Amino acid sequence: MKIRGEWVEFPVSLSGESLHLNEFLQKEIGASKANISEWRNTHSIKVNEEVISNQNPLVTNGDSVLLHVFREEEDEIVPEYRELAILFEDEHLIVLNKPEGMSTHPNKAQETGTLANALASHYQVSGQNSKVRQIHRLDKDTSGAIVFAKHALAQTLLDKALQDDQIKRTYVAVAEGRLHRKKGTIKEPIGRDRHHAVRRRVSESGQPAVTHYQVLQYLREQRLSIVKLQLETGRTHQIRVHLSSVGNPIAGDELYGGNPEIFSRQALHAAKVFIKHPLTGEALNIRAPFPEEFNRFMKYVDEEEI
Residues serving a catalytic function are 139
Inter-residue contact 60 to 14 (CB < 8 Å)? yes
Contact 82/98 with Cβ under 8 angstroms?
no
Q: Cα 218–220–225 angle (5° rounding)?
A: 30
Q: Where are the beta strands (DSSP E) in 254-304?
A: 268-276, 283-287
- The DSSP secondary structure of 118-187, one letter per residue, reads HHHHHHHHTT-----EESS---TT-EEEEEEESSHHHHHHHHHHHHTT-SEEEEEEEEES--SSSEEEE-
Task: Specify the 3-state DSSP secondary structure of 189.
Answer: coil
Give the whole-angstrom CA distance, residue 114 versus residue 103: 5
Phi and psi torsions of 118, nearest 5°: -65, -40
Compute the distance between CA of residue 187 and CA of residue 245 in angstroms, rounded to an integer: 11
The torsion angles phi and psi of 294, rounded to 5 degrees, stand at -80, -20
Residue 267 main-chain phi, psi, to 5 deg: -80, 75
The span from the CA of 167 to the CA of 182, in Å, is: 24
